[in-house]
Amino acid sequence: MKFGLGQAAPRVEDPRLLSGGGRYTDDINLAGQAYSHMLRSSHAHAHIRSIDVEAARLAPGVIAVYTGADVAADGLGDMPCLAAKVVPLKRPNGAPLFQPSRPALVQDKVAFVGDYVAFVVAESRDQARDAAELIEVDYEPLPLNVHTAAAIDAGAPAVWPDCPDNICFRMELGDKAAVANGFEAADHVTRLSLPMPRVAINPMEPRAALGSYDPYEDRYTLYSGNQFPHDMRSWITEAVLGVSESQLRVVSPDMGGSFGLRANIFPELPLVLWAAKKLQRPVKWTNERSDSILDEQARDMVMDVELALDNSGHFLALRVRCLANMGAYLSNFGPLPAFGNFGGVAGVYQTPAIHGEILGLFTNTSPTGPYRGAGRPEATSAIEQVIDLAARELGIDRVELRRRNIIPPTAMPFQTGLTYNYDCGEFERNMDRALEMANAAGFEARRAQAKSNGRLRGLGLANAIEQAAGMSDEGGEIRFDQQGHATIYMGTHSHGQGHETVFRQLLSEKLGLEFEAMRYVQGDTDLVGYGHGTGGSRVSGLGSGALLGAAEKIIQKGQQIAAHSLEVPEVDIEFADGRFTIVGTDRSLSLTDVAAIAFDPTQLPQGMDSGLQGFATFKGPAPTFPNACHVAEIEIDPETGVIQILRYVAVDDVGTVMNPMLLKGQLHGGIVQGAGQILGEQVRWDDTGQVLSGSFMDYFMPRADSVPFFEIETNPVPSPRNPLGIKGAGEAGTVGAVACLTSAVLDALAPLGIRELDMPATPEKVWRAINGL
């Protein structure tokens, strides 16, 4: 066995990807395919008086031009909102949440800059784009609102007439009465307002789709990178096309990142299928970066946080009110980031009473949806920032304040004052080790030295915890051929995480197989029988549990075959290191031998099916809770407001580590995304709803010189909630980084009396704060 779990096996997918062997959606071409372009609204809010497409239809190479009237005439359904089905959200008056109709192409009005107006199909991409410019749309501008905090102000324009207060839903969590009692008994209350900026989701590969239709089978095929191939098939067929699942094959090839973006149905996906059927030829669509930034955005919350403490610094109660911007429509997972991980505001602390109120609001902006962390960074920032501020107000060291309230390992499993029940963890140990790695004890001397050089230095600290592996179950299948080679079929989808490597490691250890004897298949609903995809750090815990179950079935059948072939009772057969051995003897058969026998019915026990395969699903009894402590040291040049991250350390508990090299890659990438959000990422628009950050010329993206080398250690405390003790790591870096770097910036500014600063901490914003402007 070359590599097992816990070893730093190199990624087997890298040689293919690095040598140009990746196969992305735009690389796929079908005979006779046409090309399409989406005309998107230039207005944030307007009635559509008329659409004139005649000039576009007569343009060179144009095959068809479709509008909302065509979509409606053919009976295509609206884009669905999964969260609205799963959670019974209500409006303040008790009515169900307001879900506006979102057709694939609008008819009567547009509700944000980038709304979907017309779909042009032509012989080439350039011809489709040129023809779209010939479409004349007569817009009647309407009053609009684009700012989260102002959406519920008296007189704020309604995005939807049937929702005049712009409140999509209201949710309450926790014990309101207990929290009120805690505040009444408090000796001190710390309050802060915490806006979280809106960010764009920017994977390396823009979205793309290729649709085809077979009239003889009455069946569609969609080629498009997405996180949930099987669920996507269900959503599109049920909600939009109105056909059975068996009539749609979804193929999700290599994908250049996703981060939540490709978890949703966008209008182009059903449109290429619908157009392919109407035109009887494949239809391809590839997004452009300027449109991609408008696709779907994330974060955009305003949280009012209050922490009640007694004189000794013990937490008595926590109250959080959150305004969450939904944008103009509900995306497929729309409201989920606003409430799905809200329980994280409890942090790693023993706060006895917590209450949260969440208002989901409509504005004339792009819909918001899940982005790496999906509410976790917001929750962690809320509790960690209010603790930092409380420590300053009370004159208590912020580490000591955390220490007085942190949950000890002996309290596990721990029910928080809100919704989460933590499985296990050593939170104080994480914090102590991270502070030791960062030499926090010597920080004040370094701060003084920086001050003598005219610089402001800050030390950031954040204890992070998040919910993971809580979404449904997952499936895994193993099929052997006669030569003993295994094919792994997973319902999860890797788009950079390294699933092809870690799942081989799992079977290498469990079944004694060499990497070269395994093949990996994902992302094709015709080949993979069952699965729910990748998101919410669910793959390592749930996917591995499923694959482990499938391996157990392989072993079980192999023992029956070996016992029959060796003419002993099954109980006398043991399996280890890829061999089935008669206990206490040297008589054995290899797994390769057993696989060959499995395909010869004359050598099998009577009544046994031929072949060697195993399929299993796994659903954990409850979510797992990865946790960490992040510490960062930064320096600010007060003359320019420029921030430099000098050092970044993290101690993470992700449970059992499957591959330490891949884990560090996940953490590094997540930290960089969190750093981007704090250093400058923000979608901005003017009062007319025009996006001011619509390209990378205007939208800040972190680069290699934005961050230092990271120092990562792990403190694995295996979870009891899956067979391998895994907790998950996909979101962990971002969850800790957003709060940690905010803490560092405010610590650097605190000596100047600056109490709060809205993120991102751009040089201009920092400079203005320093100069009192």
pLDDT in tens, 428-445: 999 999 999 999 999 999
Task: Write down how long the chain is.
Answer: 773
Whether the upstream peptide bond of residue 718 has omega within 30° of 0, thus cis, is no
The one-letter amino acid at 611: G
Say how far apart CA 197 and CA 148 lie, in whole Å: 10
Say how far apart CA 416 and CA 467 lie, in whole Å: 13
Structure tokens at 577: 């290191």
Contact 76, 277 (CB under 8 A): no
Q: What is the mean pLDDT of each run of 10 residues along the chain (773 residues)?
A: 84 92 95 98 97 98 98 96 82 94 97 98 98 98 95 95 96 96 98 95 94 98 96 96 97 92 94 98 95 92 97 97 97 88 96 97 96 93 98 97 98 95 97 98 98 98 94 94 96 92 95 93 96 90 96 97 95 95 94 96 95 96 96 98 98 96 95 96 93 92 94 97 94 95 98 94 97 89
Residue 27: Cβ within 10 Å count? 11
Say how far apart CA 225 and CA 252 lie, in whole Å: 4
What is the per-residue pLDDT for 87? 81
Tens digit of each residue's pLDDT (9 = 90 or more) over 354-378? 999 999 999 999 999 999 999 999 9
Strands (E), 483-584: 486-490, 518-522, 573-576, 579-582
Tens digit of each residue's pLDDT (9 = 90 or more) over 452-468? 999 999 999 999 999 99
What is the per-residue pLDDT for 676? 96
Contact 6, 540 (CB under 8 A): no
3-state helix, strand and coil shares in percent for the chain, rounded to the nearest 5: 35, 25, 40
Across the chain, which distance is largest between two alpha carbons, in Å? 87
- How far is C-alpha 628 from the geometric centre of its chain's CA atoms? 18
What is the per-residue pLDDT for 97? 93
Instruction: Give helix 376-394 / helix 732-749 axis angle, nearest 10°.
Output: 30
Say how far apart CA 582 and CA 575 lie, in whole Å: 9
Say how far apart CA 632 and CA 653 lie, in whole Å: 18
- The number of C-alpha atoms within 13 Å of 34 and in the hemisphere containing its C-beta is 29
Across the chain, what does the average pLDDT equal?
Answer: 95
Say how far apart CA 251 and CA 495 lie, in whole Å: 14
pTM for this one? Answer: 0.95
Structure tokens at 298: 């994330």
Contact 513, 486 (CB under 8 A): yes
What is the per-residue pLDDT for 277? 98
Tens digit of each residue's pLDDT (9 = 90 or more) over 584-610? 999 999 999 999 999 999 999 999 999
Cα-Cα-Cα-Cα torsion 398, 399, 405, 410, nearest 10 degrees, comes to: 170
Say how far apart CA 712 and CA 622 lie, in whole Å: 28
Could you tell me whether strands 588-590 and 474-480 are parallel, antiparallel, or unpaired per DSSP bridges? unpaired
Of 233, 205, 206, give the one whose Cα is nearest residue 221.
233
Contact 621, 545 (CB under 8 A): no
**Helix or strand holding residue 178 (H, E):** helix 176-184
Residue 50: Cβ within 10 Å count? 8
